[in-house]
Amino acid sequence: MAPSSNNREKDSKSKSTASKPVGSFRFSGDEMEAFDDQTASDLEFDAIRALLLSHCHNPTAQDRALKLRPLRNRKNMVRALEESKELLQIKREGHAFPAVGCEEITREIEWLSIREAVLEEQSFQRLRTASITVNDVVEALRGKAETFPRLSYLLRNVYHTTEIIQAIDSVFDAKGQVKSDASAKLVQIREERIRVKRNVNRQFVRVLKDYSERGWLADTKEGFISERRVLAVNSTHKRKVQGSALGQSKNGSITFIEPAINVSLNFELEMLRDDERKEILRILRELTRTIGQFLPLIKAYQKLLVELDWIRAKVQLAQQFGGDLPGLRNDHSFHLIQAYHPLLYMQNERMGLTTEPQTLALHGKARMLVISGPNAGGKSIALKTVGLLQVMLQSGLLVPVHPTSEMGRFDTILTDIGDNQSIENQLSTYSYRLNRMKGFLEHAGPTSLLLLDEFGTGSDPELGGALAEVFFEELYERGCYGVITTHYANIKSRASQLPHAFNGSMRFDRESLEPLFKLDIGTPGSSFTFEVATINGIEDQLIQRAKNKLDGKKVQLDELIGELQKEKNTLAKLTDRSLRKDLELDQLRQRMEAEREHLNERADHQHGVAEEQNNSLNRGRKLQQFVDRYTAESKNKELLEDVRKYLAMERAKLDDASKSAAVKRKAILGGKPKKRPKHFVERIQVGSIVRLRIGGKERGEVIELNQSTALVLFGSFKTRVELTKLTWVAH
C-alpha cells in the first residue's frame, strides 16, 4: 500500500557536484562563516532565493536576492527581521500603505550631479512618481513611530514635500508632454506653428483638388515625407506639377512632390519646430536646475525606495508560506513549535494536501538530536526544515513557525545531505563525505549547527558505523549543536548514553503500513525495513528469507522497537480522546455549577421576597387593628401607647437583624482562609509544562499565552484552557 500522506521524501537525492575542493569554505564580513554553495543546495536555500527574486521589482533588490546569504551579526539580522515583521503587520491589520514598486532613480541622481546636465522627459516622471510614493509612505507612518519603529526609522532622511511634484507639474501635462504654457515664448511658438500649419493645409487642399480634377494624381492622392504633406503624382505627369520632388514609390510609378506654393511655408514650419525644440530644452534645463536643489532628498528617496522594495519582496515571500517572526534568543539554541518546510508547504497547498508541522528544540542541555525511523518517513524533511529555517532567519527572512517559537543564531551551519558524488574530483559518495567531514572538523565548535543526513552510510556497515560513532563523539565533545538522521544502532545507542544528546523517531503506523511524518522525542525508532519492503510490493516469502538470515535478537529488537512505537501511537490517540473527554466534562461541570448557582440565587431571592411580603402583610394587619380602634371622639391615649410600643419592637427586630448580618460578615472576612493547593499560575509562561487541575495527569506544553487563557499542546492535541484551570509543573 502506498503512503497516503503528503510529506513523502524525495526518492532521488541531490546530485550536485562541488565546483571547488570538498571541505573548503569561505566567508566575508558580516556573512556566516563556512556557508558554501553546497550547503545552500543541500538545504534548498537556492530555491528560496529564486522565489524571493520573483518578488523583487527593481535591479538592486534582484541583486540582493541572488546574493542573499545568512548573517552572523545579530544586530543586522534583528533589524532586517523586524522591518519585515512590521510591514507584514501593516498588511495583516489592513493599514493603508502605498505600493512601493516604482522604478529606481539611480540614473537621474547621476545626471543631477553633473553641472549643466539636462534630464530626459521620462526622468522627470520617474522623479515625480518617487516623490509621490515617498510622500504617501510618510503619511502612512505619521504618528506611528512607537507601533512601527523600524519602518519609521527608514524615513529619517526624507520628509513630505510637494515642491518637486509642483515644479514638474508646472511643465508637464497628465500625459507627460511639455505644456504649451510652460513659458510665454513656447506659447507664442506653438500658436505660430498652428497658424502656419493651417495655411499649409489650406493651400495643399486647393492644389490637391486642382490636380485631382486634371487626373494627374495616383489613387492615394497624397502622403507624408519628413513630416511634410506631399502630392502622390503619377510619374507620367510629374513635370506638369510645380514643386519639389521628395521621393518615389518602389516601382517608380508614383512621384511624391511638395507643392511649390508650400515650400516656403514648410521651411518656416521647420524653423518653428527647431525653435520649439530649443525652447523646450531651455525649459527642461531650468527645471533640472530647480530639481537639482533637492538632490540630497532625492538620494534619500532612492535609498528608501530600494529598502522598501526589498522589504516588500520578503514580506510577499513570507505570505506564500505563512511566515512569521519567532522570539529571538541571544544564545545558540532554538525551540521550534509547529514548524513547516516552506517549499513542501507551498507544494502541498497547490495539491490540496495537508502538511505535518514539526515541534523540536535544541539547547545547551540537549543539543544533539539523532533521528531514526523508516525510509520515506520524513527524517530528511525534519532535518532540512531545521536547517532551512535557521538559514532563512539569519538571512532576514520570516519563517513558517508558530510565533511563540524561539530561535537563536549560529556562526556556522554545516550540512552533509544527499548522495553528492564528485565526478570532477573522482570522488565516490563515501570519499565525498569523508572530505566534507574533514572540513567540518576544521570549523565545528560550540556556535555550530550540524545537519547530517544518513550519517555514516556509504561504506561497510560495521566499519563505517564505527568511524561514524567516532565522528559523532568528536563533534559532541566540541560542543556542537546538531540534527542527525541515521539507521545505525550504535549511533542511536551512543546518543542515549551522552548527557546532552538525545534520540528522536519518526512515527510509523504498523497497521496501515503508512508513515505518519510526526517526530517523537526521547526514543529511537525502527527502520521498519521489512514493513517498507511490504509497502513496495516485495513478496512475503522473500522478506521471511531475509529475516532468517539475520540474528534472531536483531529481528526481535527491531520488532520490539516497532511494537513500542505502535503502543506509543495508540497511547497518543487514547490520550487525545481522554483529554477531549476531560475538557468536555469540565465544560459540562462548569455549566451545571453555573446553572445551580443561578437556581440558588433565584430561590434565595424568591424566599426573601416572600418573607418581605409576609412581613408587610403582618404589619398591614396590625395597622388595620390600630385603625379599627381609633375613634374621633375619644382621646385614644391607650391606642397611641400601643402603637409606640409596637414601633419600638419592630425597630429592635431590624437592629438585631442588622447586627447579626454584620457579625456574619466579620466572621467571614476575619476568619482564617481555607487552605488551598498551590497551582503557581503566576509562573506559567510560553514553554511551561502544565496539567489540568481536575483529573489532569497528562502534561502539556504552553505554546501561546494571553491574560486569562493559554493554548496548550497535549501530545498532538491542541486546546485553549483558562489559566485558573491549570497547574504549573515545570519550565
What pLDDT, in 10s, does the model give residues 676-708? 566 777 788 887 888 887 666 667 888 888 878
Q: Which residues are bridge partners to 713 per DSSP?
A: 701, 718
Cα dihedral 350→354→355→358 (10° resolution)? 160
Answer yes or no: is 3 within a domain.
Answer: no
- Strand arrangement, sheet containing 368-372: 412-416, 448-452, 481-485, 368-372, 501-509, 514-521
Which stretch of 153-162, 205-214, 242-251, 530-539 has the lowest confidence by average pLDDT?
530-539
Task: Please give the Cα distance from 234 to 245 (Å, whole number).
Answer: 12
Q: Say how far residue 174 (Cα) sits from the centre of its chain.
A: 38
Please identify, among 280, 307, 338, the residue that sits at the C-terminal boundary of a domain: 280
Nearest Cα to Cα of residue 172 among 121, 134, 127, 131: 121
In this structure, are 196 and 225 located in the same domain?
A: yes
In this structure, are 152 and 204 located in the same domain?
A: no
In this structure, are 371 and 492 located in the same domain?
A: yes
Answer yes or no: is 557 within a domain.
Answer: no
Which stretch of 44-58, 251-265, 560-574 has the lowest confidence by average pLDDT?
560-574
In this structure, are 519 and 622 located in the same domain?
A: no
Count of Cβ atoms closer than 10 Å to residue 439 Cβ: 19
CATH number at residue 414: 3.40.50.300
Q: Which DSSP state fits 159?
A: -
Answer yes or no: is 462 within a domain.
Answer: yes
pLDDT at position 10: 38
Q: Which DSSP state fits 664?
A: H
Answer yes or no: is 244 within a domain.
Answer: yes
Please identify, among 321, 337, 372, the residue that sits at the C-terminal boundary of a domain: 321
Contacts of residue 638, defined as CB under 8 A and 6 or more positions apart, other chains included, come to none
Count of Cβ atoms closer than 10 Å to residue 356 Cβ: 22
Task: Please give the Cα distance from 67 to 572 (Å, whole number).
Answer: 45
Task: Please give the Cα distance from 243 to 230 (Å, whole number).
Answer: 10
DSSP string, 289-357: HHHHTTHHHHHHHHHHHHHHHHHHHHHHHHHHHT-B--EE-SSS-EEEEEE--HHHHHHHHHHT-----
Mean pLDDT of 348-365: 90
In this structure, are 382 and 506 located in the same domain?
A: yes
In this structure, are 129 and 199 located in the same domain?
A: no
Contacts of residue 710, defined as CB under 8 A and 6 or more positions apart, other chains included, come to 684, 690, 702, 704, 720, 721, 723, 726
Task: Please give the Cα distance from 666 to 624 (Å, whole number).
Answer: 39
Which residue is listed with cell 534582484? Answer: 62
In this structure, are 307 and 348 located in the same domain?
A: no
Nearest Cα to Cα of residue 158 among 118, 115, 100, 107: 100
In this structure, are 439 and 512 located in the same domain?
A: yes
CATH number at residue 261: 1.10.1420
User: What are 163-204's pLDDT values in tens digits?
Assistant: 999 999 999 998 889 998 889 999 999 999 889 889 888 888
Which residue is listed with cell 501561546? Answer: 704
Mean pLDDT, the chain, integer: 80
Task: Please give the Cα distance from 326 to 343 (Å, whole number).
Answer: 19
Nearest Cα to Cα of residue 101 among 126, 69, 68, 65: 126
Task: Please give the Cα distance from 61 to 53 (Å, whole number).
Answer: 8
In this structure, are 204 and 271 located in the same domain?
A: yes
Answer yes or no: is 572 within a domain.
Answer: no
Coil, helix or strand at residue 17 = coil
Which stretch of 179-188, 239-248, 312-321, 413-422 has the lowest confidence by average pLDDT?
413-422
Task: Please give the Cα distance from 363 to 360 (Å, whole number).
Answer: 10
Task: Please give the Cα distance from 461 to 4 (Å, whole number).
Answer: 32
Q: Say how far residue 495 (Cα) sits from the centre of its chain.
A: 35
Q: How confident is the model at residue 26 (pLDDT cuts 50, 70, 90)?
A: very low
Contacts of residue 32, defined as CB under 8 A and 6 or more positions apart, other chains included, come to 69, 70, 71, 72, 394, 410, 411, 412, 413
Which stretch of 22-31, 66-75, 390-399, 530-539 has the lowest confidence by average pLDDT?
22-31
Answer yes or no: is 587 within a domain.
Answer: yes
User: What are 474-487's pLDDT values in tens digits?
Assistant: 999 999 999 998 87
Alpha-helical regions (H) of 536-633: 540-548, 552-629
Answer yes or no: is 410 within a domain.
Answer: yes
Please identify, among 220, 250, 280, the residue that sits at the C-terminal boundary of a domain: 280
Answer yes or no: is 398 within a domain.
Answer: yes
In this structure, are 363 and 395 located in the same domain?
A: yes
Query: Does the pLDDT at position 566 exceed 80?
Result: no
Give the C-alpha distances (Å, rounded to integers) separating 542 from 112, 137, 274, 374, 511: 80, 70, 94, 19, 20
Give the residue numbers spanning the domain of 299: 47-161+294-321
Mean pLDDT of 627-633: 69
**How many domains does the chain fold into?**
5
In this structure, are 299 and 246 located in the same domain?
A: no
pLDDT at position 28: 47
In this structure, are 365 and 404 located in the same domain?
A: yes
Mean pLDDT of 523-551: 60
Query: Does the pLDDT at position 656 exceed 90?
Result: no
Which residue is listed with cell 536576492? Answer: 65
Phi-psi region of 221 (alpha: psi -120 to 50; beta: other; left: phi over 0): left
Contacts of residue 490, defined as CB under 8 A and 6 or more positions apart, other chains included, come to 465, 466, 468, 469
